[in-house]
Amino acid sequence: MALAAAALLAAPFLPAPGATAAETTTAADTTTAAAAPRAATAPLQEVTGFGSNPGQLKMFRYVPDGLARGRPVVVVLHGCTQNAAGYGTGSGWTELADRWGFSLVLPQQRTANNISSCFNWFQLGDTARGRGEAASVAQMVDRQLADVAGKSTRVYVTGLSAGGGMTAVMMAAYPEKFAAGGVVAGLPYGCAQAAGSPWVCMSAGGGQSPRQWGDRVRAARPGYTGPWPRLTVFHGTADAKVRPVNMTGLTDQWTDVHGADQAPDVSDTVAGHPRRLFHGPGGDPVVETYGITGMAHGQPVDPGTGDGQCGTAGANLLDVGLCAAYRMGLGWGLAG
């Protein structure tokens, strides 16, 4: 694809058509003094030779000093215009890796693949099992598990915006590799194809029924009979770039995949923001959603040194008094 076309199709961090200045304001515009995150105890490392790398991505990883064998691995996918190091730190994931004891895989897009450094969540050549960027990320997971003796049954994946779209791709195309995934301001698997274009998907959703959404996931891994990853979603109610309808699509998609009904089993609030929890047929939680009241497009963070705090406010890293990385890690049992 030509670079100009890539910029048009894959820039969720650019203002959406018709967005107002208020809708595109970030915490960086309103926050003057945020508490600094805890300093990382180990450097981010670039890894080469992790496989055939058909998507031509870069691999970085973060391994806390003295990490024991058999610890979990979290894959962290940045958004458009971001990079691995900035998003890993800003979102709070490196801080939590030190605090709780797990390692990170941080894929990084190349501008040669996408001029806005977005992961190509909308391209069939990058979202199918065994192909393109999805296959590159899967190879990174295998390399990390081998190098750090990570626990293969406790691998998780999360990402923001285009990284959230690629998170849904990894959950659908490689469900056997992930225990759970966290999509932040992202999109359902197959949304660009369902809607006819990435922009329509971002602004209006894919227009699918829960069964149709679920069928798209099942088609990504034909014949798969193992457990599907659990899903956690965070989405701002004032997001004008990737509209909140996409959280509904993700919820419909993964409740259907898990055989759960469309009515939440738990409805409450966390830090003043509505949370819904859906249980599968066996009674286990399979989908959890957070609608972040009044938040525009970005990653929820809660800078500070308190137990539930993490992250750093900045562009598309929005201080809403709730750290998405912390809530995901808590739900996935990483704090244990």
Known catalytic residues are 161
For residues 276 and 253, give the distance between their C-alpha atoms in angstroms, rounded to a whole number. Answer: 15
Torsion of CA 106, 109, 110, 112, to 10 degrees: 160
Q: How far apart are CA 140 and CA 244, in angstroms?
A: 31
The DSSP secondary structure of 140-207, one letter per residue, reads HHHHHHHHHT--TTSEEEEEETHHHHHHHHHHHH-GGG-SEEEEES---TTHHHHHSSHHHHHHH---
Half-sphere exposure of 235 (CA within 13 A, CB side): 28
Residue 310, phi then psi, degrees to nearest 5: -170, 165
Show the tokens assigned to 118. Answer: 């977005």
Whole-number Å distance between alpha carbons of 206 and 202: 9
Token pair listed for 101: 């004891």
CA atoms in the 13 A half-sphere facing the CB of 165: 28
| Coil/strand/helix, residue 210 | helix
User: φ and ψ at 144, to 5 degrees?
Assistant: -65, -45
Q: How many residues does the chain have?
A: 336
d(CA 157, CA 186): 13
Strands (E), the chain: 45-47, 58-62, 73-77, 103-108, 155-160, 180-184, 230-236, 266-270, 273-279, 285-292, 299-301, 317-319
